[in-house]
Amino acid sequence: MRNPLKQIALLLALAAVGVIIYSIFVKSLPENLQVDFISEIKSENIIQDSINQVKDSLYNDSILVVGKGQVELTGNLDAFFSGLDSLPGNTRSLHIAHFGDSQIEGDLLTSDLRDEMQKKFGGSGVGWMPMTSIVAGYRVTIGQQFNEAWDAPNIQDNSSPYTPGPTGQVFIGKSGASTTFTATKFAFNQAWMFADPSSSGTIEYENNGQKSAIHWPKENKYYIALNDLKGKQVSIKCSEGAPAIYGVNFENGIGCYVDNFAYRGSSGSGLSQLPKTLFTSIEEVINYRLIILEFGLNVHGVGVSDYRNYEKSFDKTIKHVKSCFPNSSVLVIGISDKGRKIKGEWTSDVTVKDLEKAQRTAAQNNGCAFFSLYDAMGGEGSIVGWVQDSVPKLANNDYTHLSRDGTKVAGHMIFDYLMRSYDVYNQKKTNSKK
């Protein structure tokens, strides 16, 4: 008979070795994409406790509050809320486009907001996906493998004959270029592929053992449906020509989808170069009702307090975004608190507030909602607490980027803000009927 105590001891030893190997692997990843294995297996109550602690320090006379959180009272989110109202019984899902800098790279924060929205409003799946990504290996919400036969000029590359798509890139598929998407939490059901109709070529896609071919372009449109998908893997391959593909939108069921459009190293000004005609066509099949703009980390300069030129540039960006998405609300999320080391001690850079003021002014001048992530974190000095005092750690040692646990907290706070504001919207509707 086997000795159960020896079996238990063996299992514990194997588990310890596994944790050590996993920890070594995680430390090799970029810091903002590292996952603390021990933190991940802790109860979600730990994250909730962090959320509650941060929310206790939300309040600031400069923002509108109800109870213990920020809320939008201006009506600048009404188009979004109207879209949520129309979801039950609708044949089209609702999409949120989340544009941002490296704070959301790898689907960070976006995925947390998506999870919250889909729990409440339905749907499953990640929404928009590019054909290649420099952080594909770190993203946990969908698997993606691709070869080197793609050319991917970005928004700053003026040599490309094709305009950039919502990711700031276009993916030109030379013969043999291929990408395989593997679902993690959901099964594939329906997808739309978007490409430039001035390009041409043959695109093959394989799903559930079935292969189909698309001879692009189709009817001079920017999109084509990939219908009746099943299972958890879809492969797309370019076999002839050089089609210029923008990406694929994956959905499973009617609900709410949050699309991640991360622009590493960007101030957000590049969005002004995105083509209005492309988004007009995209909106024929994707129902965008909220556009989130979350930039600032690459704008802020240590000790810089004058952001008037940035405010003018950001104002121009917002105007262009609103013209591309005329049926959508726009939400500007202000810069998070950011650290500065003075005489060996970390503290907040007080000029973060000057940059946030410029963002808030540009948002208000253009009829946009504004969420202060800086205030939500706890205001001045909060970044130090998020790094040094939080268990699990909510921000990384660069005192700039939120950790994976931190983005969970931030995503919950943004969702909380949206739902508080939605409650106010619904109360106004009820009152108007009396």
What are the structural domain ranges in the chain? Answer: 30-123+254-434, 128-252
* Residue 3: pLDDT over 50: no
What pLDDT is recorded for position 57?
Answer: 42
Is 359 buried (19+), middle (13-18) or exposed (0-12) by CB count in 10 A? buried
**Percentage of the chain with pLDDT > 90?**
74
Q: How far apart are CA 337 and CA 375, in angstroms?
A: 8
Q: Say which residues have a Cβ less than 8 Å from residue 285's Cβ, sequence separation at least 6.
A: 192, 223, 225, 249
Q: Could you write out the three-class secondary structure of 235-271?
A: EEEEEEECCEEEEEEEEECCCEEEEEEECCCCCCHHH
What pLDDT is recorded for position 15?
Answer: 53
CATH 3.40.50.1110 fits 30-123+254-434, yes or no: yes
Q: Prior bond to 392 cis, omega within 30?
A: yes
Mean pLDDT for the stretch of residues 3-18? 50
Q: Prior bond to 197 cis, omega within 30?
A: no
Mean pLDDT for the stretch of residues 310-329? 96
Contact 260, 111 (CB under 8 A): yes
* Residue 310: pLDDT over 60: yes
Contact 93, 211 (CB under 8 A): no
The DSSP 8-state label assigned to residue 334 in this structure reads P
What pLDDT is recorded for position 24?
Answer: 52
Rounded alpha-carbon distances, angstroms, from residue 344 to 77, 239, 340: 43, 58, 10
Query: Residue 46's pLDDT band (boundaries 50, 70, 90)?
Result: very low
Q: Which CATH class is domain 128-252?
A: mainly beta
The DSSP 8-state label assigned to residue 75 in this structure reads S
What pLDDT is recorded for position 13?
Answer: 54
Q: Radius of gyration (Cα) for the chain, nearest Å?
A: 23
- Tell me the average pLDDT of the chain: 87
